[in-house]
Structure 1
Amino acid sequence: MTDADRCKLPGNDIEDSNTENNDTEYLSFYSDASEVKRKEAERNAYQQIILEHIGYDYIVDDFNRHMLDEIVGLMVDVVCSEQEFIRIGGDRKPLSVVKSQFLKLDAEHIRFVLHCMKENTSKVVNMRQYLLAVLYNAPLTISNYYSSLVQHDMYEGNI
């Protein structure tokens, strides 16, 4: 069978097919648009949840609004991430674990994080990674941190 014969087989009618005017681009545009809207709605919902959990309206006056907004934005980015793992302090943690930890944060945890940032005297090279680690570890370390401060103050005779 020659190439000319193959071209005459049913379904190989290249001249009659109109590939330039198909609707796949049109359909993918609209399916992408609906996916974008769904992601935006999910992002907005999680942002509202986080703002409520941390008591944003109550603590915003106590802290730099821009710093607080950056922390909230970072939390929303992580919670809405599509990555399977998030790197926290050099470890790869499953997104579900990090998401759960971030959604547990409240106003005291955020105060703790901002206090730690204020007390930090080291140069932070990667602020995003630093904040991710501090936010993730806040519920795990807040009690020990404040206990340590009390012990220090008692030893120094300040209490």
Structure 2
Amino acid sequence: QEIPPQPEKKPEPPAPPPGVEFADVQKSDFPTSRRRKNPPQEVEETDPNQTKRNQLDFIQPDLSIYPPAPSGRQMGIDRCEVREEVKENIEYEHLRQELPYDDMESLLELIVDVLSSTASTIRIGGEVLPVDAVRRRFRQLDSEHIKYIIDSMSQTTTKINNIRAYLLTALYNAPITIGPYYSAAVRHDFG
């Protein structure tokens, strides 16, 4: 035996709080943007929402507008591979014998951070630069640039508040400032 379907019961609207009259609430199907004349102070809401239910579960953002940020793996960036590439470029094993380990390791990690970053921009020297331009510059770094930066840091007596930002700027500028730096040092010593 089958049970006949029951008609759906519509829930009763909640009773208004005492002292609030809803006589001024608009009940039309087409809400307007203008206010009614002299609405009571207790009634501040606009026309009621006429949808039967909210369907928030079905709302999906348009991924073409806000694409999800790809992870390092999805972009083909593997930190271990990048680290090994950088070690080779800067002659890491050779530098370990000449320079303080902590300084070298810190610079190595900063370079790897930039080269494996999934951000679209990076702040260098107070400017926001495209990450691809910064990567190109960081890929030019070699052992001489690392020696230059560590030597310059050892001569700096000024207090540095944001050492990471300072070192990122030094690494970014090293390929274009190393020549003038050593030329000026030679002129100073023999001048």
Give the TM-score normalised by structure 2. 0.61
C-alpha deviation, 1:94, in angstroms: 0.6
| C-alpha distance in structure 2 between counterparts of 1:44 and 1:143, whole Å | 31
C-alpha deviation, 1:66, in angstroms: 1.4
| Partner of residue 89, structure 2 | 53
Answering whether residue 141 of structure 2 is matched by residue 113 of structure 1, we say no
| Partner of residue 131, structure 2 | 95
Amino acid at match of 1:4: E
* Larger of the two Rg values belongs to structure: 2
How many equivalent pairs are there? 124
Which of these residues, 4, 8, 24, is aligned with residue 4 of structure 1? 8
| C-alpha distance in structure 2 between counterparts of 1:106 and 1:112, whole Å | 10
C-alpha deviation, 1:61, in angstroms: 1.1
What is the Cα-based RMSD across aligned positions, in Å?
Answer: 2.1
**Secondary structure, in 3 states, of the residue corresponding to 1:74?**
helix
Write out per-residue CA displacement over residues 17-73 of structure 1, whole angstroms, 9 at most, x where no aligned residue: xxxxxxxxxxxxxxxxxx676689711111011000000000111111111111111
Give structure 2 stretches of 5+ with no counterpart. 1-6, 10-70
Amino acid at match of 2:8: A
Q: What pairs up with 1:59-138 in 2 under 5 angstroms?
A: 59-138=95-174
Amino acid at match of 2:135: K
Contact 2:124 2:165 (8 Å CA) reproduced: yes
Amino acid at match of 2:128: R
Give the TM-score normalised by structure 1. 0.72
* CA separation of 1:137 and 1:41: change in aligned 2, threshold 3 A: closer
Amino acid at match of 2:82: Y
Contact 2:72 2:117 (8 Å CA) reproduced: no
Identity across matched positions, percent:
35
| C-alpha distance in structure 2 between counterparts of 1:57 and 1:79, whole Å | 20
Q: Which protein has greater RCO, CA pairs closer than 8 Å, 6+ apart?
A: 1
Give structure 1 stretches of 5+ with no counterpart. 6-34
* CA separation of 1:41 and 1:80: change in aligned 2, threshold 3 A: closer
| C-alpha distance in structure 1 between counterparts of 2:178 and 2:125, whole Å | 17
| Partner of residue 32, structure 1 | none
Answering whether residue 179 of structure 2 is matched by residue 143 of structure 1, we say yes
* CA separation of 1:37 and 1:96: change in aligned 2, threshold 3 A: closer
| Partner of residue 50, structure 2 | none
Amino acid at match of 1:126: N
| C-alpha distance in structure 2 between counterparts of 1:36 and 1:110, whole Å | 26
